[in-house]
Amino acid sequence: MSKPSLLILPGDGIGPEVMTEVRRVIDWLEKEKDISFDVTEDIVGGAAYDAHGTPLHDDTMAKAQEVDAVLLGAVGGPKYDALDFNVKPERGLLRLRKEMDLFANLRPAVCFDALAAASSLKHDVIAGLDIMIVRELTSGVYFGEPRGVFTEGNERVGINTQRYTTSEIQRVARAAFELAKKRNGKLCSMEKANVMESGVLWREEVQKIADAEYPEIETSHMYADAGAMQLVRAPKQFDVIVTDNLFGDLLSDIAAMLTGSLGMLPSASLGLPMANGRPKALYEPVHGSAPDIAGQGLANPIACILSFAMALRYSFDMGEAAALVEGAVEAALADGLRTPDLMTVEGGTKVGTTEMTDAILAKMAAA
Ligand code: NAI
Ligand code: MG
């Protein structure tokens, strides 16, 4: 089998800083575990604007379409705030998402024991949490027509339309069921079928896919408002949650904040399977370019390292290597190492970007 290919796009601000640390993890795996990747690196966002006058060069876009996975740092920064809308750094990221047709956004919520005390939830509610929210990303109420602000008689009316086709529901459902298969065989779909017709269709289509293609997966349905309550009351009852764009926006933010700092949160966006069976995929930390701490060696590299671990598991079928990386992150945190963003947790030793990775690599070696 050919080597898995990875396109690395560090971007701006702390993007290149955290990506340097991911490169060290990749180098370690290549040297110690005999896993090899076909890695190429390119520029995106403000860095690409500076070099090419566009936040994403066509050649970079073409490369992104060919590789097994793209790993992106972060884009943007004050230097680019005054730029024209069409060449803003964010447009580079949006173009990637759009042209790769990344319709399934994966946001894990994992509670590392060492950080459980920082959660707003009680320890036993949160300890050991490991769930995955799959949000539909390219359709629904953020895109549906008609939309706009109109005048009706002597009133103005703002309109947005929730619209889902069967194929849009089916493809995100399949992506979520595939994840459930790689995880714990459990999936909960959320909508509001009690008050929304689009929700009725969503529920019917998810159940059809479950019956026809994934009978081994334990499938359930929940109204999204009840789901929001359950996420805070007893989040560990879930494993994979699949939901639409709007509810997913809210539910994934709730789930993320159950567990702590922005510097800890990875994400992935998946598209349709390519010829080799792997889905189109973009992995990226949830955080931005953090201009307030850029260039100071203070950025927490964990969100980006965990994004790479997701690529190992979900694009490359290297679950063991993913678990090695995740376990090493957990162990480094358990030793009390804290980048400044994690100092809200009591105790611990303050470290910078490089030292945190040093510790993670040492834990990988010791595992
Ligand atoms: P941000 O996520 O960059 O920063 C928010 C706060 O969290 C800051 O105080 C920052 O220092 C801290 N933080 C973020 N990541 C961290 C990490 N790994 N380690 C330690 N602390 C961390 O969001 P903000 O400030 O709203 O945006 C800054 C720039 O980033 C803007 O230009 C924005 O457009 C861009 N941005 C880019 C995103 C992307 O590339 N996906 C997402 C969000 C914002
Ligand atoms: Mg949001």
Q: Point out the least confidently predicted range of 1-10, 91-100, 336-345.
A: 336-345
Quick check: is 249 catalytic?
A: yes
Domains recognised in the chain with CATH numbers: 1-118+260-367 (3.40.718.10), 120-124+137-257 (3.40.718.10)
Nearest protein Cα to ligand 1, atom 22: 263
Could you read off the pLDDT of 279-321 as tens digits, one per residue?
999 999 999 999 999 999 999 999 999 999 999 999 999 999 9
Report CA(154)–ligand 2 centroid distance (Å).
34
Could you read off the pLDDT of 129-160 as tens digits, one per residue?
999 999 999 999 999 999 999 999 999 999 99
Q: Which ligand is nearest to the CA of 253?
A: 2
pTM across the whole model:
0.94
**C-alpha radius of gyration, the chain, whole number:** 21
Could you read off the pLDDT of 111-126 as tens digits, one per residue?
998 888 888 889 899 9
Complex ipTM: 0.98
Q: Is 77 in the pocket of ligand 1 (CB under 6 A)?
A: yes
Quick check: is 98 catalytic?
A: no
